[in-house]
């Protein structure tokens, strides 16, 4: 049976005032608990968000610097969803500057997560 958990956290924690270091440590703890339960973990970098790109960059650099606690990584850094200021591009984001449009979810996010999951479950 396939047992893969995707965790894409941090944006709301940072928006509510948590620090990138604390959010990153919580991500590591979450994955450790999933491993203990027998699951594999795929983590993702944070997307651009109104007023949070500086915190996003710090948080993402922590993930990219060491994601050895996870089994897979989805890296949105430098994409049309993860670049600084990308939240203002209304062809990919809703006017709230937080949520990607369904077309971006279907065309960018879902394939990226699928690729990461497939790399774990079908390593050949």
For residue 100, give the CATH number of its domain. Answer: 3.40.50.1110
Q: pLDDT band for 11, please (50, 70, 90 cuts).
A: very high
CA distances in angstroms from 58 to 50, 80, 84, 85, listed in the order given: 15, 18, 12, 15
pLDDT at 62: 98
- CA 27 – CA 44 distance, rounded (Å): 10
- Give residue 78's domain range: 4-121
Please give the tally of structural domains in the chain.
Answer: 1
Q: Specify the pTM.
A: 0.93
Measured torsion, CA atoms of residues 57, 63, 65, 71, in degrees rounded to the nearest 10 = -150
- Going by C-alpha positions, the residue among 51, 71, 75, 80 that lies closest to residue 62 is 75
């Amino acid at each position: 049976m396939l047992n893969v958990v995707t965790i894409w956290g941090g944006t709301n924690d940072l928006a509510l005032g948590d620090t990138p270091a604390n959010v990153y440590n919580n991500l590591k703890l979450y994955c450790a608990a999933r491993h203990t339960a027998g699951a594999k973990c795929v983590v993702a970098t944070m997307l651009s968000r109104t007023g949070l790109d500086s915190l996003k960059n710090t948080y993402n650099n922590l993930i990219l610097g060491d994601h050895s606690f996870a089994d897979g990584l989805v890296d949105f850094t430098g994409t049309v969803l993860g670049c600084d200021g990308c939240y203002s591009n209304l062809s990919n984001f809703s006017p709230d500057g937080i949520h990607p449009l369904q077309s971006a979810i279907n065309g960018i996010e879902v394939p990226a997560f699928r690729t990461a999951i497939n790399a774990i479950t079908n390593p050949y």
